[in-house]
Structure 1
Amino acid sequence: MSEFHRLGLGTYRNTDPDACRTAVETALEAGYRHVDTAQMYDNESYVGEGIAAADVAREDVFLATKLDTDNLARDAVHESSAASLERLDTDYVDLLYVHWPIDSYDAAETLPALDTLRTEGAIRNVGLSNFTPELLDEAIETLDAPVFAHQVEMHPLLQQEALHERAVADDHWLVAYCPVARGQVADVPELVELGEKHDATPYQVSLAWLLSKENVAAIPKATSKQHIVENYGALDVELSEADVAKIDRIEREERLVDFPAAPWN
């Protein structure tokens, strides 16, 4: 089974075939071993081609994808996940998430289908994304499989303390998307100051802060080689306890991914 790496490559909105393939190949050649995609992203084929092009064995790549909101009925889970495997050109994915618990989501229908896929070997782990604490409770009670990861928006401006505490208590990963707040961390004084202190960018500081947290992973999206390599450099940024506490104390809060049908609204 592929080892889970806490810093992965996000591929949201990377729908240009050449750019997506190249980004995935570049990331793997740079040292990444965790790649995140989704049915909703319309790029699974390009992600699969990027993995195939890289000089890295498939079994060394932790590959995650997500079920679209229209594909959460029991039969649709099986049919669409099979289509994802075909597009990704793989026999299995390491992690399959429920992307959003909305639209066709029904815990009693969706989650047993994921259990079956895991038993059959089509997926190695079950994940959830964008769940509220209440929906998370329901899912954990319904699933036979353990929840491996819960993916949510998380960055210094949306610190997700309650969901982080739950992840530590239940021993699942909290995977941060939008981990640099779509670039907004560059304008946060605390991150700018810490970047100067550590000879790092505010983006690297934001990622290092996330990676300093127990049971937290991050999947920054990047397409250029410069940004892919820069993000990976966050692994070399060592924040002190005081540095982490300084970021923890940021009071400004901003959720970037939000819409009326979101589970928390």
Structure 2
Amino acid sequence: KYDCDGKEACKELLNEELDQKLEAINRRVLILLGVVLLAFLINLLSKRKLNHVQSILLILSSLCLLLGGIITPMIELEARIDMLLFQLLGEEVVFENNIIFFQSKSITDMVRILMTDGSIQMIFVAILIFTFSIVFPSVKLICSYLYSLNNERINKNKVIQFFVIKSGKWSMADVMVVAIFMAYIGFNGIVGSQMANLSRSTEPIQILTTNGTHLTGGFYLFLFFCLSSLFLSSALTKKPNEGKSPEDPKP
């Protein structure tokens, strides 16, 4: 399939392709974040109330962040033994690049895995994750669009007002971001500690380990979605004369 001359050549080719794809993903994440940040800065620095086109632009920008955040892996857990060396019957035996544990999951992956588990507890957790990380933010964006139409009847609707104005206080999306970050710190510490203990081996066994746990693009996209959602609510509810200095009274 890869037209390699040998095992080492094929391994080198696969590692190179993987690095290129990861670099491309990170580049696209940075470009998306940069474009969205620029769009929000341009519109939010304006002291005037957003018009319909500007509102749609910000809503679409937030939607891109949300979609990227839920389908892109958020955290990558990896524990690897780079080298295991020991003596067997007077011969030196070496094992290299052995992955002990690896997981890379997005929000949608987590929901699907928890739902297929079958237990009531896991299904309940899956429903909570799906509700607060996918359904709730999606409804907020839909309500934001309806609010941007500047229809007095729609804007006075209690459901619309809740999701556009008050939902920031009740949204669990930001809580989920903090939970994922804390999980990253915890997993990183646990994996690092276990791999360090494994490396403290004595002769005749020598072990070189690597902890590859890190946050990936999906986490940052979802984090910026939470921030953009707060700014979007502020921008949509800005009054027409907000930000303008009052005119001096005429003598």
TM-score class normalised by the smaller sequence: under 0.3
Higher helix share: 2
Instruction: Please tell me whether Structure 1 or Structure 2 has the larger radius of gyration of its CA atoms.
Output: 2
TM-score (norm 2): 0.25
